[in-house]
Amino acid sequence: MESMIVIQNLKKQIGQRLILDDLSLTIPSGSIYGFVGENGAGKTTTMKIILGLLAADSGTVTIAGQTVKYGDSKTNQNIGYLPDVPAFYNYLSAKEYLALCAKVSGLTQNVIAAKIPTLLSKVGLNNTSQKIGSFSRGMKQRLGLAQALLNDPKLLICDEPTSALDPIGRKEVLTILKNLKNETTVLFSTHILHDVESICDHIAILNEGKIQLEGALENIKAEHNKYYELQFKDTTDRSYFLKHTAFDGQKKDSLTLLLPVLNQEDSGLAIVETLARLKVVPRKLKLVEPTLEDIFLKVVAK
């Protein structure tokens, strides 16, 4: 798979604080890439360097094979950008605003006439004639997304795009981003782990200026331990089960054990056979896969 972004040995210090510490990262073309970390981890600083808005102390960034240079907007011709709270002219309609942005971008009138209805339909704003000032936050974010897609970017950078939205607005924006998978590469920077897990196929975890973990989300999850959650009807059953088995379970609460999975099929079968042999009927037995939050907390705590 070709790479859309290659970051090598990026360092950035502001005052006495080292913001980025030898950061290296490769983002595959066509991926929806989750760039996650706590607030202050260095995500926005990285975005600014990628966009050529901030100079790195050392290291390189290339986008689609072109080297990013501070103050040079050449590589930005391939980029669409959506911030957490985009700014608008509130007295314009969505159509008028996109037409203005398209003219500033140098698009011809014929292209503008064809593209704007398509973009407004893509973000679900094709049936509104309201002025932007009366839009909800979710509507404004979707309009910002349409504006970011005006130049058919090879790379769409979204910096905390759902952080200021209510659940409905978040779902709308995430659905649009997910549907862009076959059209462009999406770099999705956020601290909201559930959003990343719902749409991203690759992730990188940034902590204290370093990449602590990166790769395909599916592979990362497979490398972290699954477990069975076994809940008993009462403490007597739990004690009886532990006394007559060799399972090494971690106690979650007075009625629940967490049993590690060595082999999913064999472990599950062994638990069921043991329960049947002991004539213990559990309240619940389920396989639990690690969430991105579980993985993030484990990685950051190291």
**Taking the alpha carbons of 203, 5, 19, 158 in that order, is the dihedral positive or negative?**
negative
| Average confidence (pLDDT) over 85-106 | 93
pTM of the model: 0.84
Residue 114 token pair: 């064809």
Q: Given a cut of 80, is residue 293 above it in pLDDT? A: yes
| Average confidence (pLDDT) over 62-68 | 93
Residue 16 token pair: 């006495």
The Cα–Cα gap between 226 and 222 comes to 8
Q: Given a cut of 70, is residue 220 above it in pLDDT? A: yes
| Average confidence (pLDDT) over 210-222 | 92
DSSP string, 30-46: T-EEEEE--TTSSHHHH
List of domains in the chain: 3-222 (3.40.50.300), 224-300 (3.30.70)
